[in-house]
Amino acid sequence: MGKGAQGVVFQGQGPDGEMVAIKLLNTRLDRPGIDGERFMREVAAARRVAQFCTAQVIGANMDGEWPYIVSELVDGVSLQRLVQTEGPRRGGALYRLAVGTVTALAAIHRAGIVHRDFKPSNVLIGSDGPRVIDFGIARALDSAITISSGVVGTPAYMSPEQISGERVGPAGDMFSWALTMTFAATGRPAFGQDSLPAVIYRVMNEEADLSALPDNLRTIVRSCLSKRADERPTAADTLFALLENEGPIPERDADVAMTTGSQVAADPPSIPPAHAPQGPAGFPPPVAPTVWANPSGGYGRPYSQPAAQPTPGRHPHATPPTQGPRPNAAHPNAAQHQSPSPHPSPHQNAHASAHPHPGPQQAGPPRPPSLPPGDNDAFFKGVPQSPATRKRTGLVTAALVIALAMSATLLVVVPRWFASGEPEPDKQSVAGVTTSITPTPTPTPTPTPTPTPTPTPPPPQVVPALGKQDGKSLKGHSKAVQTVSAITIAGKLMLVSGGQDGQVRIWNAKNHKYVARLKGHSQEVYAVACLTMGKTPMAVSGGYDGTVRLWNLKTRKGKVLGYHGDSVYAVAVGKAGGKWYAVSGDANGMLKFWDLGKKKQAGKTVRAHSRSVNWLGVGRVGERVVAVSAGEDRTLRLWDLAKRKKYGKPYKGHTKGVYSIAVGALDGRPVVASGGKDNKIRLWDPKTGKSIGKPMTGHKKIVYSLSFGVVGERVVLVSGSTDGTMRLWDPKTRKPLGKPVKAHKKGVLLVAVVTMSGKPAIVTAGKDKQIRLWKLTGS
């Protein structure tokens, strides 16, 4: 039937007589540099796409010399050929084409796939309407190749970020869709079809001529052609705008904008010092961090809980994997006192670079759910899943929404079960492990005068040490545990975990029992952060599917809060000016801030790093609550949480990507510990951006997770690495305390200091699918 970049397509007949399309792939999956298992995961994702407006993927065989994929055969002609032979589309035909194709994209994106090669030749016009084909293979092949990755797509229909070699998300498909609609209306590519350099220059720098498009389509197409990916509407929003027959796309739905993070930083709880866990001086109390691992075996961040008495806040950090189109190793990030900090797995993309169009961002409709870093080839099509409609203003009618729900699952509607309000001090202190710790000063006893005072010998010095495993391992995840966060519910310490199996699970830390599963994510969960708003324990999760979900841990119901343009690798939550905010980071280096009380995005999307955001934490610098971001670009940056602006100077001490951070305090001043691919742990001053002393060395592989804690009155730092060990450090001397402990067989994804029965303990998670609790002792 034809040839393409990925292989040759044949027409065939199945055993039941059904006609099918068979694509023989050029790439063998048994050669070096190919991850066959990852390829099959992408194929499986393509098969989940709903079958309305797409060609269903029927099966695949990846064994042997000729791997192939079988899909439904669509009897029709391509849009490219149709326009060339019959001329441009007009009136209702053009409008139906726009509605049908964007519905297909909404279903594709909902399944966690990016088409990556949407163009006129990949739209077939059948007797029952337009069908989008060839989605899935490009992404599958790209994500399976672990050695190198090229730019996939057709230049005349590629987005600026795709041309520049950055990670391509659903927003890239919307740019290609707009160019395809322009071609359908005019009969020619919007940016020409002459020399390749000329076409690329126009895509990157010029605006398309849309004068030939009807008014009811022109404004929508123009919004999709924004040079900045974060300003384009999602496929779902574009569909709604088309159905409403309105030119402008609706304003961004605040309801869709919140992605939460790996840590929660809370104001110091008003608890008597003797019982309240403290955060490092100037930093909020510790919050439970989250841990995550990437699909390729990355690690997740552990959640740390504040230690008893002056327990420093812990930030479990998980570093993302360093390979693969998808988030690589998971980063164990320490979560703030109430919210575990998820670990973003950095997507290692050789082509990733800063966005070429740093112009001001404009408000626009919410973006589509972000898909995993790789993109899927257009060969797979499926019917859009029935869309659960998002609450938005101006929907045509309830009846229309119900009709749409039957054809494409685009959004999820969940009752607003969550409560807003201030977290209770007691619950806050228990919830987060990632927060910085402030040792609680011990009052000096007043000596009672006696005729002959007897000198009192100084108390024996406490020497912290890693103890043995406390109880049995927590088992239940079928793949690596990527993130963990701690929170107290009804007086019990609970752990919320996320894994590569797409599951979010609740555990009782004391009796080591599984409690419940939270269902919603379709793919790997990279970040989980817990917090208590009012009296309601909650958790926020983000992952490979680009969604950010909010969970009520009492009712165990969830709601999709919003989407990023790519996988969400990190989230953190904190309280500033009496309000709870969340910050989320993705594989494209973008940050989003969210007002949790209003449940809407606060301010604009921010370009934080030139490559993926691997970790996020929240702490205090003086009276200012700041978020700390770590990137694959080797830098760490501070952000004023309330103002959503850069603060202070970036830290540039690392020589490779940064995967983990913990915020704490030494001698009353805030400090940040960071680790990454250079296998070193560095301490630095968030006020000056300068290093404190020499780096700590010892780990043989990536430092994926860090967490501050307190043993007695002594501040300690716990680290976890992909070498499978955890280590204990004295941050003052920057020397190890005792020997390393082999915590997990295939790598530690998370470490977090928590308080169990009034004593400090450590939570770890790993690639071996298990969560463990460890004693942290002083001898």
Q: What is the pLDDT of residues 21-78, one digit of tens each?
A: 888 876 555 554 455 565 666 666 666 665 666 677 777 776 666 778 888 787 788 8
94 has pLDDT over 90: yes
Q: pLDDT band at 693, cuts 50/70/90?
A: very high
Predicted confidence at residue 244, as pLDDT, reads 78
What is the pLDDT confidence band of residue 577, given thresholds at 50, 70 and 90?
confident
Q: Average pLDDT of 326-350?
A: 37
Per-residue burial over 75-112, b if 16 or more Cβ lie within 10 Å, else e, is ebebbbebbeeeebbeeeebbebbbbbbbbbbbbbbbb
d(CA 674, CA 657): 11
Residue 303 near residue 312 (C-beta atoms within 8 A): no
Q: Quick check: is 595 catalytic?
A: no
Burial class from Cβ neighbours inside 10 Å (0-12, 13-18, 19+) for residue 619 reads buried
Question: How far is residue 122's CA from residue 132's CA, in Å, rounded to a whole number?
Answer: 6
pLDDT band at 524; cut points 50, 70, 90: very high
Question: Would you state the pLDDT for residue 630?
Answer: 95
- Residue 406: pLDDT band (50, 70, 90) is very low
Residue 296 scores a pLDDT above 50: no
583 pLDDT exceeds 50? Answer: yes
On whether the CB atoms of residues 571 and 333 are closer than 8 A, the answer is: no
The per-residue pLDDT for 47 is 65
pLDDT at 293 over 60: no
- Of the ranges 263-267, 286-290, 391-395, 644-648, which is most confident? 644-648
387-410 mean pLDDT: 36
Alpha carbons 27 and 7: distance in angstroms, whole number: 8
Q: When comparing pLDDT for 52 and 339, which is higher?
A: 52
Q: Of 38-42, 66-70, 384-388, 545-549, where does the model show the most confidence?
A: 545-549
- Judged on CB neighbours under 10 Å (0-12, 13-18, 19+), 16 is exposed
Give the per-residue pLDDT at 235.
93
Q: What is the pLDDT of residue 38?
A: 57
Q: What's the whole-number average pLDDT of the chain?
A: 72
Catalytic-role residue among 16, 63, 75, 117: 117
| Cα 309 versus chain centre, distance | 33
Query: What pLDDT score was predicted for residue 136?
Result: 53
Q: What is the C-alpha separation between 187 and 770, in angstroms, rounded? A: 57
The reported pLDDT for the residue numbered 413 is 28
pLDDT of residue 178: 96
State mean pLDDT over 410-433. 32
The pLDDT tens digits for 96-118 are 999 999 998 988 888 778 888 89
Q: How far apart are CA 553 and CA 652, in angstroms?
A: 39
Between 70 and 220, the more confident residue is 220
Q: Which two tokens stand for residue 279?
A: 């955060």
Give the end-to-end CA distance of the chain in Å, rounded to a whole number.
75
**pLDDT at position 157, please?**
92
How confident is the model over 497-513, as a mean pLDDT? 94
**pLDDT reported for residue 370:** 35
**pTM of structure:** 0.51
Least confident of 223-232, 418-427, 453-462, 555-564: 418-427
Q: How confident is the model at residue 349 (pLDDT cuts 50, 70, 90)?
A: very low
Q: Note the pLDDT of residue 281.
A: 38
* 103 vs 107: CA distance, rounded Å: 6
**pLDDT over threshold 60, residue 477:** yes
Q: How far apart (Å, rounded) are the C-alpha atoms in residues 615 and 14?
A: 49
Average pLDDT over residues 499-517: 95
More confident residue, 328 or 84: 84
Residue 736: pLDDT band (50, 70, 90) is: very high
Higher-confidence position of 756 and 654: 654
> In this predicted model, which residue has the larger pLDDT, 586 or 345?
586
3-class DSSP state of 173: helix
Structure confidence at residue 400 (pLDDT): 34
Burial of 12 (0-12, 13-18, 19+ CB in 10 A): middle
Q: How many CA atoms lie within 13 A of 359 on its CB side?
A: 10
More confident residue, 262 or 726: 726
* CA–CA separation, 775 and 738 (whole Å): 14
What pLDDT is attached to residue 718?
A: 97
Among the ranges 160-164, 420-424, 563-567, which has the highest mean pLDDT value?
Answer: 160-164
Chain segment 584-628, per-residue pLDDT in tens: 999 889 999 988 888 888 889 899 999 999 999 888 888 899 999
DSSP bridge pairs for 574: 265, 581
Q: What is the pLDDT of residues 233-244, one digit of tens each?
A: 999 999 988 987
Top pLDDT among 402 and 724 is at: 724
**Per-residue pLDDT, 445:** 40
Assigned fold of 1-384+414-439+475-779: Methylamine Dehydrogenase; Chain H (2.130.10)
Dihedral sign of CA atoms 13, 14, 19, 23 in order: negative
H-helix or E-strand spanning residue 685 = strand 680-685
